[in-house]
Structure 1
Amino acid sequence: MKPSILFIVPAEYEALKEKGVDSMILERDEDGFFGKVITLHPCCSKTRSISLNECHEIYEVGFDLIPGGEHWRLSMYAQYPVQFFRVIWNAVKLVKKYRINLIRANDPFWMGLFGYLTSRICRIPFCVSIHADYEKRMALDKSISIVKVFGSYKLAKRLARFILPKADRVMPIRETLGVQAVANGADTEKIRVIPHGIDFSPFRLFTAHNIFDRFGVDPRRKIISFVGRLTSENYVNDILDIARKLEEKRQDFTIVMAGGGKEESRIKHEVFSDAILKRHVFLLGFQPKDICFDLRRASDVSLCLMAGFSLIEACAAERPVVSYDVEWHYELVKNNQTGFLIPEHDVNGAVEALDWLLDRPEESEEMGKKAKALAFEHHDLKSTSKIKIMCYSEMLSQRE
């Protein structure tokens, strides 16, 4: 019989659908390794269950004990103690109902605590995956709630230091996060790096959408694309500054930005009220994946100042990338090989790199080919799935 796994994830299904990343849930069975994959979302607006198919089911625990209470902060705070026990009770119930063999918590904070307590009650292994440099994200956007406990990042760090040593495996998405995890108490022997995996099949298909015709982009312009959330952690203010300074050097470019986010309204207002930005920045709003893929391929350069999956996709589109030298970007962005790594907030450096690439289409094309090869080598979904299966198998065999 195939094993079953419980994911505990700080998300809500509707929000994942809005971002266009809900299909990634279906990848959690690792190409059939797991017979049943249950996903628990502990902090949602309403309680419900969602059946995606025979293998995948989602359970959401909402702050809905008080009607309409999810809209009021004080009401949510009042529900916290009860919500905590509701989540544990639901997690234990799901483990028993679906005969779960393994728990994976998708952060070392609240999700990690839920995973740890459930694993101890049910006596099954649990692992913690780490998906970001949380300290860096907090520095860029202090409103991020995922890395806070009762509004405090210090408490969250203490909680992580409690959880990480107790996990059967700690699974960061890159090596640098593993080093940070060890510094926060994780056992070096239990670290297993699980790189992001991407289904590259869309990048092997012919382009389906003419971006110039579809959105009215001037075909005489060179496209610099940004695909991602319009948030401060993605350096959207720097992108606008880059547009202003690049305009001083040349007029033949358009920065096309695809994505929504909490900064969207402000960015729109700034673009439409600034003559330079209005000429050189094109806001598409949120777009489905297929259009984002084709936008990347229609680009001359991809601008990924801060990126996760989007950096992999940008490289897979066979275009050079300009990125800040933060987090893990150095793994894919190699200076003068696949693009350019620029010091954080060095707007002038980014402008120089973009200007150089736009003036040299042959060199840019060669860099794009190398970027694609590197992305395919390290982040193909089938390869990364094998790595995760090895990690899961280790934990399952230890408890047999």
Structure 2
Amino acid sequence: MGDGATRSVLLVVGGGIAAYKTLELIRRLREHGLRVRTVLTDAGARFVTPMSIQALSGERVFSDLFSLTDESEMGHIALSRSSNLVVVCPATADLLARMATGLAGDLATTVLLATDTPVLVAPAMNVRMWTHAATQANVATLRARGVAFVGPESGLMACNESGPGRLAETDAILAAILRGLSPDRPLAGRRALVTAGPTHEPIDPVRYIANRSSGMQGYAIAEALAAAGADVTLVSGPTTLPDPAGMHTVRVETARDMLDACRHALPCDIAVCTAAVADWHVAPATQKIKKTADAAPPALQLLPNPDILATLSQPGPTRPGLIIGFAAETEHVLAHATTKRERKGCDWIVANDVSPGTGIMGGTENEVTLIDAAGCEHWPRLDKTQVAHRLVARIATFLQTPHPKPE
């Protein structure tokens, strides 16, 4: 697979206005020393020309399944297995549907059906096409077969509509490709769910209940999981952090929103719940609560929020194989965290002291203790990125040995 020491990518260019962005992607891949061969669909050729692709890639462009010259020199079977990674960019709704159903009516779909090489897909389409039940079912089918996704992102599209469906930025696609080509991908083929950040529970249209979580540790863990080859869904509460490249990020506000997003991300192999979910919410006022000189402060009736970690940990067919919770405590850290692991039913708890003065909450470093059924393991104070990679290494080691799910 591939040619000698030179890593190679087979790029399948689908139709859609976003196809023009593949030219910049080819240039960037070549800058990284990668060989890029291209299969150009008939629809893709309406937006970019074979000549422009060939000029940037330095390689012939393939498009005709029935070309005798191509078949005698390489053949569609050889082409499908000649690279280290197959990248479909942009992947239209039609192309995803044909991939999911196993159609092979042209060179692109024949290559995709015949390949035993990892496949990365970068979808791009109208928002309603992306959110349509048929497309989402096709995406779920492809994910279950091990196809990796990058994007789509939300934003204004060429059709002047806004929402999810926009092709991921070139930097994000490039990062996903480089991860896909990494020889050290112990979590390749695994699906991971990460929750991060705080939740905001509205009191009225301008006020909310929240906490000081920055989301930095959760985002670092999501990126480390993706770097290890996992297909990651990051469910994030409100943060100022940008969406990490190479994964599906879902932005939510409340605990109830977060639980819904987590359920939609199932099934998965790994769930890491770092989010600082508010324990309570209130029935919010429809208008701003006004303060008057002679009125007492309003009474807020606190209602319990759903317990996301405990819900995901419940035994059943959708329970992730490994569930990791976080316990941010200010006193009796190990005792509270150990009790939390038992009460929630998760497999591991990562405990940390977030007392004022530690600089942990909102800071760049963390000092944690990993608690599992066997006991406690204290880690030194580390950068949150280092904590993330150390945790992911432990996850990979754990998953190398089969573990039965709880009955």
Q: TM-score, normalised by structure 1?
A: 0.31
Higher RCO by CA contacts (8 Å cutoff, separation 6 or greater)? 1
Which structure has the bigger radius of gyration?
2
Higher share of residues assigned helix = 1
